Structure 1
């Protein structure tokens, strides 16, 4: 006991030295790990600075939030037979009669993410929850075999309860229903939707639970995908969570957004992503019905809607699919000849993407970006504002939409290419989140989304250089201070 007491007295007498030694040891170990395993130079430098200048806390923050163990976990737990098998030799690539300027991009696209482009799809924009939710619930009510739903946020509000009822009713009539909720996003509703579904017998799972008895879960890694697939006949993807706030006509806190109804063979690629995610979360391999072309032809005979979209899924995440969306965007921007239009709630691109946009603007491409005048995260607005002067100096135009917070995520290039899905233009989406997008070639779809862009532009004010220059000094300091943390946002 005397030895223990002496040791405690020594620690108490030399606590400053001990804390300093601990800080030096942790900083050294953390910095070496950053140098060995972080690929992004700017992010690495930022992490090292945080580790060194925030004694102990910086190192703890790095080990909690800065390490991606999901890639190794995914490679170990995802067997190759489960992977989506849509590959074909590059020599057999079909350019689907698309403009020749895009042929090299299609070759590169396959090299970036070796998933085939599927033809004869129909992609229908559904503006806000007022249009999207009735369609989604109607599809669930008509399901005959299987429904899979993945959502980042599933609020247990008046709208969420409609989904819970539709899903549980489908389960009771013999439809197999699987609902996957993000381990962090489910907390937005205090897990009420999770518990309500489970209570009604719906098979639910959480993707990377924040708290788990089997290991440490990293709250920085989130499943941001929004997927609904029904029977292999119809799918819905986009940026819309399950929340009454997306009912713009009736919500007290409206959120503008756009979702997409998808029919055609590309549904199989969408459902495969869910199957992989479900296996990752539960270890269970589920079977989902494949798209039936004959049934689709019969359905097409009863409607005049065109089904000509050439599309494929591009999935991304901090696993083996890392950087697929970033490279897809860079590849498409190289092909831009006339225009680039972007709608995003958060615009904090990394240097590579920003350089690609500037390069397009410098060669005469009209680059227009619509962001919210005010997002749902104030410090994100400050970071975006800090970057305005750097962005507009080469002719890129930014518009601040004064409508309710706009959560839409769309990229349009010229009059043929569209990129839609769950991805934002920020480090969180491009580095940490699991995302799903559709890369589409179709002039009709592009025209519809271009009109949507123009409609939003009518409610937006352009960012002007004089406005940026006249910003109060304290705001410039605040904005640039938060900009230093953009790799983590």
Structure 2
């Protein structure tokens, strides 16, 4: 056998290469939903069948979707619509907000897992100092359970402060579960997951075992969600990870900005459903859903949880945003740290602007991801030439993800306006139909506009060729940034 391999190894390698390439190319053609993605992977595989097949195995196969299908087949009905007594009827939304928002609500019912509900409250936490303070207070007041999911949970002063409050809650009998993304957990060393485990708290990593059981951080298919549910009646969500750089207490004037939210009411049940399914996916443990009736607020806010990710809810956030842009009549305001929409979203922004809708897009002047910033500069002209207004906001980096339409509809949460959030990450957002809340968001956007400079077409196009060429080269890789 060894003699045969020594004499014929080039032929054997050729046969293995062709077989592996054929299988990988067929899998890509059969499973990819976008022609561009399928063509891209088939092209890579044809250029180098063996190496291309290996690369496709690592970076191209969506194991999350496969595991989700297996989970559903095992009896855990992951994607059932959540129904409860506070779900709003379409007629009520039409009566209060008009036919366009009734149509948008029907679109949300069709694409998302959850209904728009009444009886909620939402408070904006405009800084890390306030958000972490309220989170600590809520954990200290927990009586039964805490379920925490986060992309980044740093092992720093703020991280350990919250970790120690979680440990104290566990010590007094509260059931505490912590789920941190396997990649996000490595933003600090040693990982906060080890800090918890050494002290006996039930902490897990999301999607840490990727290939054949190996513990291998994976660039894609991350949970980018930030959810904390306390005692089934209070939740926190938004764009803020757990790290001291978002506080003036530790970072001072150099602190980054972000926006988080404290919510109560029926929407807590839906946030719990999202986080508990991620927990089940990672651990196999099924948590009982919130069954008891939740008290509605006296002055209700209409809200819907929008969960999306590379499974059965892929592109849900993107579809909701496109639907919202189609009903806009006066103005759209969007704040995002990263703005790299796909062609369909670019067309939706451009179409709204051509209809006479004022579109203001705010991104940081100084970005924390240099390659993403280069790719954004290469794409800005696609919206500016159609009448959208792009603003570079000065000051410290702002990680907020905020969107409002006509001072009525708002969209806040964890999703960035880039391919990673729209296709590759697990995200959770809140769709809010409330003029008072929209006014709060617009005031925050207005404050950022006071420190912003608008980009013109000449600003984008009249720069030296080497700059524009390098940006376009980086932009070609934007689906993977």
Q: Do they superpose with TM above 0.5? A: yes
Q: Does 1:99 align with 2:98?
A: yes
Task: Quote the Cα distance in structure 1 between the aligned partners of 2:419 and 2:443.
Answer: 28
TM alignment of 1:160-199, pairs within 5 A: 160-199=159-198
The aligned residue for residue 240 of structure 1 is: 240
Could you report, residue by residue, the CA deviation over 1:405-436 in whole angstroms, capped at 9, with x for unpaired residues? 21111111111111111111111111111111
SS for the counterpart of 1:286 is: coil
Could you report, residue by residue, the CA deviation over 1:202-228 in whole angstroms, capped at 9, with x for unpaired residues? 211221114676468654210110001
Deviation at 1:183, TM superposition (A): 1.7
Task: Quote the Cα distance in structure 2 between the aligned partners of 1:71 and 1:375.
Answer: 32
Deviation at 1:471, TM superposition (A): 1.7
Q: 1:69 aligns with which of 60, 63, 67?
A: 63
SS for the counterpart of 1:236 is: strand
The aligned residue for residue 34 of structure 2 is: 40
Q: Does 1:152 align with 2:144?
A: no
SS for the counterpart of 2:285 is: coil
User: Which runs of no fewer than 5 residues in structure 2 stay unpaired?
Assistant: none
TM alignment of 1:84-483, pairs within 5 A: 85-87=81-83, 93-96=90-93, 97-210=96-209, 214=213, 218-248=218-248, 250-251=250-251, 254-287=255-288, 289=290, 293-294=294-295, 307-483=299-475
- Alpha-carbon contact 2:79-2:312 (below 8 Å) kept: no
Higher alpha-carbon deviation: 39-48 or 261-270: 39-48
- Alpha-carbon contact 1:181-1:205 (below 8 Å) kept: yes
Task: Quote the Cα distance in structure 2 between the aligned partners of 1:477 and 1:91.
Answer: 51
Deviation at 1:85, TM superposition (A): 4.9
Deviation at 1:156, TM superposition (A): 0.5
- Alpha-carbon contact 2:238-2:261 (below 8 Å) kept: yes
Deviation at 1:101, TM superposition (A): 2.2
- Alpha-carbon contact 1:51-1:58 (below 8 Å) kept: yes
SS for the counterpart of 1:131 is: helix
Deviation at 1:348, TM superposition (A): 0.8
Task: Quote the Cα distance in structure 1 between the aligned partners of 2:292 and 2:377.
Answer: 45
Give the alignment's Cα RMSD to 1 decimal. 2.6
The aligned residue for residue 303 of structure 1 is: none
Task: Quote the Cα distance in structure 2 between the aligned partners of 1:176 and 1:56.
Answer: 48
- Alpha-carbon contact 1:146-1:288 (below 8 Å) kept: no
Q: 1:50 aligns with which of 41, 44, 59?
A: 44
- Alpha-carbon contact 2:335-2:445 (below 8 Å) kept: yes
Deviation at 1:470, TM superposition (A): 1.9
Task: Quote the Cα distance in structure 2 between the aligned partners of 1:10 and 1:292.
Answer: 71
Task: Quote the Cα distance in structure 2 between the aligned partners of 1:276 and 1:345.
Answer: 28
SS for the counterpart of 1:412 is: strand
Deviation at 1:28, TM superposition (A): 4.1
Task: Quote the Cα distance in structure 1 between the aligned partners of 2:113 and 2:176.
Answer: 29
Task: Quote the Cα distance in structure 1 between the aligned partners of 2:315 and 2:261.
Answer: 23
Distance verdict in 2 for CA 1:329–1:186, change over 3 Å: same
SS for the counterpart of 2:121 is: strand
- Alpha-carbon contact 1:151-1:224 (below 8 Å) kept: yes
SS for the counterpart of 2:377 is: helix
Task: Quote the Cα distance in structure 2 between the aligned partners of 1:273 and 1:86.
Answer: 10
Could you report, residue by residue, the CA deviation over 1:136-177 in whole angstroms, capped at 9, with x for unpaired residues? 111000111111100011101000010111100000011111
Task: Quote the Cα distance in structure 2 between the aligned partners of 1:453 and 1:115.
Answer: 28
Task: Quote the Cα distance in structure 2 between the aligned partners of 1:444 and 1:290.
Answer: 30
Distance verdict in 2 for CA 1:317–1:472, change over 3 Å: same
Task: Quote the Cα distance in structure 2 between the aligned partners of 1:249 and 1:463.
Answer: 34
- Alpha-carbon contact 2:410-2:432 (below 8 Å) kept: yes
Higher alpha-carbon deviation: 202-211 or 367-376: 202-211
Deviation at 1:199, TM superposition (A): 2.2
The aligned residue for residue 4 of structure 1 is: 2
Deviation at 1:56, TM superposition (A): 4.3
Deviation at 1:476, TM superposition (A): 1.6
TM-score (norm 2): 0.91
Deviation at 1:233, TM superposition (A): 2.2
Distance verdict in 2 for CA 1:359–1:84, change over 3 Å: same
Task: Quote the Cα distance in structure 2 between the aligned partners of 1:452 and 1:482.
Answer: 31
